[in-house]
Amino acid sequence: MPSHEHAVRSARSHAGGPARGRAAPAGRPCARDLTLGALAQRTGISASTLSRLEGGKRTPNLELLLPVSRALGIGLDDLLMWHTTDARPTARVRRLHGLTVEHLSSASASVQVLRMTLAPTEQPIRTRQHEGHQWVHVLHGSARVVIGERDLHLEAGQSAEFDTRLPHGVAARGAEPVEILSIFHRGAERGRLPGPGLPGGS
């Protein structure tokens, strides 16, 4: 699996086209070789920041990746699956009790990207603590996200980020499975809880 900076660069150079193994939606415009300057105008992110992201000098996070994926007209998970010449399988998949985990990054990467599908359960939500910083973005469905003493309800398109030294856990909310994208950085950056526009705790 290529690094995330290479994925962003490849997606930018093929803006509007299909990600690996996926057909482009009908009617989507194809704007090949989008420049950094043009992408900066579309996203509101400076060209220098985008350049550092592509060069691996800036840790990817949802504040950067979400505007980029929207500007390119592709899903966030698709953005992270872009490749150049690597023809090997793009992901490792693990299936546990009610949980499917698809690894979108290499096991040795400092930034781990996972696409997870959680089945509904009546079991209490399980929390854990460890060093690091995590972003959680709901792709489909409704999620319950516990961060410390906060109990959040996130719908598709909404996100949370947090310091993983706080007790945290994610579960499906309601009767349907939830699909989330998780970006985990092993460093111990300070995180923050969802800001204005995201739901509060119950």
- Which pLDDT tens digit goes with each residue over 143-170? 999 999 999 999 998 999 899 999 999 9
Q: Which two tokens stand for residue 35?
A: 């420049």
4-79: CATH topology is 434 Repressor (Amino-terminal Domain) (1.10.260)
4-79 matches 92-185 in fold: no
The CATH architecture annotation of domain 92-185 reads Sandwich (2.60)
CB 41 within 8 A of CB 50: no
pLDDT, residue 67, reads 84
Find the range with the poorest average confidence among 3-7, 29-33, 165-169.
Answer: 29-33
The domains of the chain are located at 4-79, 92-185
Query: What are 112-140's pLDDT values in tens digits?
Result: 888 999 999 999 999 999 999 998 999 99
Tokens, residue 9 = 């660069």
